[in-house]
Amino acid sequence: MMTSEELNAHIADGSINEVIRVAEAKQVKALSRIADEVCEQSRVRLVLVTGASAAGKTTTAKRICTQLLVNGRSAALHLSTDDYFVGDALNPRDENGELDYEHVECVDIRRLASDINALMRGEPVPRRRFDFVKHEPFYTDEYITLPEGGMIVLEGIHALNPRLTEGIDDEMKFRVFIEPLPQLDVFGGFVPTPADARFLRRMVRDNQFRKRNPADTVRLWPKVRAGEAKWIEPFSGNADATFNSYLVYELAALKFFAGGLLERCRLELGDHRLVMNMIALLKTVNPISPESIPGDSILRETIGGSQLEY
């Protein structure tokens, strides 16, 4: 555990780069161990990676693919359940008649299972994508295949829900649950919650990649949290392995982006409790430049500039 005062001291004296290197190396080591566990089970062909919103699922899945290749697997194919969203026209609605983006049936479950089974048989399938601006799925000209003995790494908020992979032998699955567990003491014994960490990531990511008004992210957050309690948390106990995606320096890294967004929220929403709490949280650390963050860091999924392909 590090305190915010210690983190600020590292930033001030220039030793923050070593803190960053060590934090990133710890995550690589943890993912290497998970890949080792996967490879110890000869029947596993499908690695399921899940976590709540902004937990870092995509980068983690890609890194697991890399570690599987390090372990000698012939191929590791990354798929995202986001690409199998049904789109607004078919999306379930909640009790108020509003689109429920947290529901498991947001995903085209039949098509996903069909594609996974086809890939495991060695058959090519068209690459499916989802347009988050138009809110509809589409197919590219690319066809994907899985060589014999290869593995599929599937990530998404419902990946551990048994409904998502019905019809696939459970012995072929390995389940990974991701959660950012902050390890930074910011107020003399107070440590931010995983939800605090994920909210800051989500607000920055939504603004960076989806051009969403940060106040809209705040408004949507209670619905996101309710969906997590219903659709994600009940299945976290099914995990074969867990991964802490938090980086001890990330609050300082996100301050560069989140500080201005939160001020915009305060102008629009007033003294909103969540906004004021996040502003107070960011005041405990000094910002660090985005240039200090490695190109393959999990934070690049939030702020952009990743050397990984998404």
Integer CA distances (angstroms), 219 to 168, 197, 263, 268, 275, in order: 38, 17, 15, 11, 11
Q: What is the pLDDT, as a whole number, of residue 238? A: 93
Q: Rounded to an integer, what is the distance from CA 103 to the centroid of its chain? A: 17
Please report the pLDDT score of residue 148 as a whole number.
83
**Residue 211's pLDDT is what?**
85
How high is the pLDDT of residue 149? 82
Q: Which residue bears the tokens 């906004």?
A: 275
Q: What predicted TM-score, i.e. pTM, was given to this entire model?
A: 0.93
Per-residue pLDDT of the chain (310 residues; tens, 9 = 90+): 999 999 999 999 999 999 999 999 999 999 999 999 999 998 999 999 999 999 999 999 999 999 999 998 877 889 999 999 999 999 999 888 988 988 999 999 999 999 999 999 999 999 999 998 889 999 999 999 998 888 999 999 999 999 999 888 899 999 999 999 999 999 888 999 999 999 999 999 999 988 899 999 999 999 999 999 999 999 999 999 999 999 999 999 999 999 999 999 999 999 999 999 999 999 999 999 999 999 999 999 999 999 988 7
Count Cβ atoms within 10 A of the Cβ of residue 133 and give its class: 0-12 exposed, 13-18 middle, 19 or more buried: exposed
92 phi and psi angles, rounded to 5 deg: -60, 155
The pLDDT, as a whole number, for residue 188 is 82
What is the structure's pLDDT at 161?
Answer: 95
**For position 250, what pLDDT does the model report?**
97
